[in-house]
A and B are shown apart, each in its own frame.
Chain A
Amino acid sequence: MGKTIAEINGIRDNVIKKEAEDKKLIRIYVHMGTCGIASGATSVLTTLRKEIKENKFKGAKIITTGCAGICSKEPLITVALPGQEPIMYEYINDEKAKEIFASHVMGGEIVTEYAFLRGMETQLKERMENNGIIEGEAVVDSSIPGIEEVPFFAVQEQRVMKNRGLIDPNNIDHYIGRDGYQGAIKVLTSMDSAEIIKVVLDSGIRGRGGAGFPTGLKWKFAAQEPDGMKYMLCNADEGDPGAFMDRSVLESDPHSVIEGMIIASKAIGAHMGYIYCRAEYPLAVETLNKAIKKARAYGLLGENILGTGFDFDIEVYEGAGAFVCGEETALMRSIEGLRGNPRPKPPFPAHAGLWEKPTVLNNVETLANIPQIIYKGSEWYAGIGTEKSKGTKVFSITGDINNVGCVEVPIGTALSTIVNDIGGGVVEGKRFKAAQLGGPSGGCIPLAHIDVPVDYETLQEYGSIMGSGGMIVITDDKSAVDIAKFFMEFCTEESCGKCIPGREGTKQILNILNKIESGRGDASDIPKLEELASVIQKTALCALGKTSANPVLSTLRYFRSEYEEAVSKNN
């Protein structure tokens, strides 16, 4: 049977109590996102479990969590001794894990050599305020940097990812213990549709999928549609090359997305939801399915949620590998079981979406923001960000950069802060050339503009887009034509083939780029590229088609001389 609200609150209190008790134990956190598992976290986990068993060591507890954020240092583990600061270790393998277990866990001696930092991300604010001192946690080895001294973490503002590296994504109690489902309880017991939408509108949150449409407005349109069958969808078909923010959220904190969907469905009057997740994220799909099952068992999904009389259920729908299915109308066709092709808008999905019923589609990150907006209020949320864009944005920084990982910063943070401070600069021996934002639909920001604030309007001004949060740092050993070619190859392959500009236009742009790159280009090719790119931008059917030529236009804008040089041989 489902639980009551009092029972959920009881679980929360218990978890808090238990966590306080747990502090008397030795806790070993193994960070197991896909990134960690790919670098060998599973084997590290097995080793640690074996060590505990072989040594018959009591008083240690292993907690598996999602990605801790800094993927380039995986596998990471965190060891916390009672009354001491937690220590995070980097680049762990089986031998190192054994060594740390023997020395730190059993002997209490920190292995400074492998240590990355002191403290945990959740304590960041407190540590910053108190000069790195946490009450009740002794500093043992001050030669290891505190987390507040590591720019990668210190500059970030954790909201969407507040639970990362801390909770077990497969344990619903962990989420409930950290104020989880309080937002859902609030809307189910004391708010009506108009009130929810007002809070979301006031918070100023805009869609994190890339287009930046105000989320509250989207909900309002769907809520205005007459009652009847409506659908609440979550877009987890993250397909941009180099983007992994949504995966990180789904793997480390799936319940925040589920809670966001419950709130949204209450706001628009939907009773059925789908999470469209790409099948290439097997761990995310598994985590989500487990989370949904757990939420159902707790009565947080299904009929009569927590006894409030509201019905809502979610199903996970796996994509079949098409990038274009991240486009909203194509995504809906795909759920219907049809070929995932976009269709012209209007009619907009808020009016006629999935099975021609009013539908709202929100991105994973958007939905993960919602519970906190409801629970903490719109003013809290709008407290950071720029005038037009509030809150934080998660970026996955990758490419030729030292700290590859997921970062969450207030909107409006300078690009240079993200690249140099958080990212730790480009890899040694190379120079920064540009950062590609928004994947193949976006554009690049060159060195000259590295200080621009990252927000929707400014990036657009510079020929790029905020996008869903993929940020690829490119160094000066790559040619602009190559960069454009890489993204055009992607767009050509991933075109759905429906409209002529999207299908034939992208192919012809790629043809011309190939020609230029192989030294067969001539001066007429550059205006031809520009002409074709602008036609595609204006005439393609869907947003993905329209933006597919952006990498060409943006590299032409900033690195035109490289194109000219490439074609100059034949003049």
Chain B
Amino acid sequence: MIISLRSISYDDLKKQLSKDDKIVINSCSSCIVACGVGGTSKMETLENMLKADGYNVIGKDLISIGCTLNLVEKHRKDIKKKDMYDEATVIIPLICENGLKGIEHVFSDKKVIRIAKTLGTGNFTMDRGVVLTNPFENVPMEASVEGYELFEVAEELGLFEDFFDEFDAPEMEREYANFTVNGEELTAEKGRNLLTVCEENGIEIPHLCFDEELTGAGVCRMCLVKIKGARDLQPACCTPVSDGMEVVTEDEELNHYRRIILELVLASRNHNCLTCSKGIPNPMFSCELQKLMRKFGIESSRYENTSEPITVDVSSPVIEYDANKCILCGRCVRACEEIAGQCNIGFVNRGSDTMVAAGLNVQMDQSACAACMACVNVCPTGALSERVIHFIGKDWKPVKVYADYAE
């Protein structure tokens, strides 16, 4: 993983901007997210701050792997984003310096502002988060197996440990909605997504197809909630909060529906949720389906599983696609369109024969897959996974990869 830290203060950023600028903020969705300098929420924070200060932010765009040049090019040409990028005069990319080179190349006609300084490579640790282990030559720090925590690095090099602080900008005028969830009174900006707002307030709503970086789809029906006055149960992931809303997220009835839905999922295809190794508590790759199965205490399904085994697609060098574990939540389809800008993954067939497929229903390596991992990062089960993690538990064998010319 590439380690980068914010290198510019909010005031310095503002000095580089004028009120006439049309600003687009984009971000890589890879290492920089783990370093706390990029991702959807960070783009939103910066957008809100700049808007509150009177700057004209015309849009934002998440790119699955920002250092892949052709992905960036594709985003610029994307039919849905082209107009926005054409109009922009300034690009603020939340990206490492490696990716910055590509951005500067693709947007050579515009002003590009550097946000981060890239320091070396590192790892993710369970207890200390992201650490820098191998600083670059120009960074005055020694390599370390244990690694340096980001705050240490920031202190040492005079960089910023956190992202821009919202309090540095004046408070934005926002319209707020007052509503209740399970009797608790909440306030949030009008129009925000109910599921996200609930989670921010510590109210968990089970969900499978929702990912905060993607548009809501209301597919899995796990997040159905009761809203007073609504004719039917509503998916929280597709419901904007509004004034006076009265929401119930959990009761015996709703949990009954959730249990049945989980049982239905368990009876479809081959979900060995009780034994599958994807349950390892890794923040990037843990299985959300398994978590829910445990939460609701589902050990077996009362429904008959008539599915036939499906061949696992291992054609891609980096992505393994095991359709047996797919729950058709469509996150990968949306990620491929919205984050990767590729539209390489889609649905084929109908009803219970529906499948997620790459390209024109071909193997992954036969399709136009850019191996950007946008789909893998959002998959809530073990259907799409990075191939390396399947070596867990096996002994590494030393392999000679280059000739020793000294001999």
Contact = CB atoms under 8 A, between A and B. Distances in A.
A501 B327 CA distance: 12
B267 A497 contact: no
A498 B303 contact: no
A528 B304 CA distance: 12
Contact of B238 (A344, A498, A528, A531): A344
A507 B328 CA distance: 15
A266 B28 CA distance: 48
Contacts of B268: 503-504, 507
A511 B221 contact: no
A7 B151 CA distance: 84
Nearest to A323: B350
A539 interface: yes
B94 interface: no
A500 B327 CA distance: 8
Interface string B193-232: 0000000000000000000000011111100100000001
B364 to A, nearest CB: 20
Contacts of B176: none
Interface in A413-470: none
B265 A500 contact: yes
B351 A495 contact: yes
Which of A341, A344, A494, A540 has the most C-beta atoms of chain B within 10 angstroms of its own C-beta? A344
A541 B221 contact: yes
A505 interface: yes
A307 B220 CA distance: 52
Contacts, number: 97
B350 A539 contact: no
B191 to A, nearest CB: 12
A538 interface: yes
Which of A500, A503, A532 has the most C-beta atoms of chain B within 10 angstroms of its own C-beta? A500
B218 A500 contact: no
Interface residues of A, number: 32
B233 interface: yes
B352 interface: yes
Interface in A170-192: none
A322 B218 contact: no
A499 interface: yes
B257 A503 contact: no
A496 interface: yes
A178 to B, nearest CB: 41
Interface string A530-544: 011001001111000
Given A339-B347, A344-B235, A344-B238, A508 B264 contact: yes
Contact of A496 (B235, B302, B304, B350): B350
Contact of B267 (A504, A531, A538, A541): A504
B16 interface: no
A493 interface: yes
A396 interface: no
A497 B353 contact: yes
A373 B234 CA distance: 36
Contacts of A511: 303-304, 306
Contact of A494 (B302, B347, B351): B351
Given A511-B304, A538-B233, A504 B218 contact: no
B108 interface: no
A506 B267 CA distance: 13
Interface in B126-146: none
Contact of A495 (B218, B219, B220, B352): B352
Interface string B318-351: 0000000001101000000000000000110111
A341 B333 CA distance: 14
A497 B303 contact: no
Contact of A497 (B221, B328, B346): B328
Interface string B270-292: 00000000000000000000000
B260 A532 contact: yes
A503 B352 contact: yes
A538 B257 contact: yes
A539 B352 contact: no
B221 A492 contact: no
A491 to B, nearest CB: 9
Contacts of B267: 504, 508
A501 B390 CA distance: 32
B261 interface: yes
A539 B217 CA distance: 14
- Pairs A-B, 9 closest by C-beta atoms: A497-B354, A344-B218, A504-B264, A495-B351, A507-B352, A508-B303, A344-B238, A539-B221, A535-B260
11 contacts: A344-B216, A497-B328, A500-B264, A500-B265, A503-B351, A504-B264, A505-B264, A506-B352, A508-B264, A531-B260, A538-B224
Given A507-B352, A511-B303, A535-B257, 15 more contacts: A339-B346, A344-B238, A494-B350, A496-B351, A497-B347, A497-B351, A499-B221, A503-B328, A503-B351, A504-B267, A506-B351, A506-B352, A535-B260, A538-B232, A541-B221
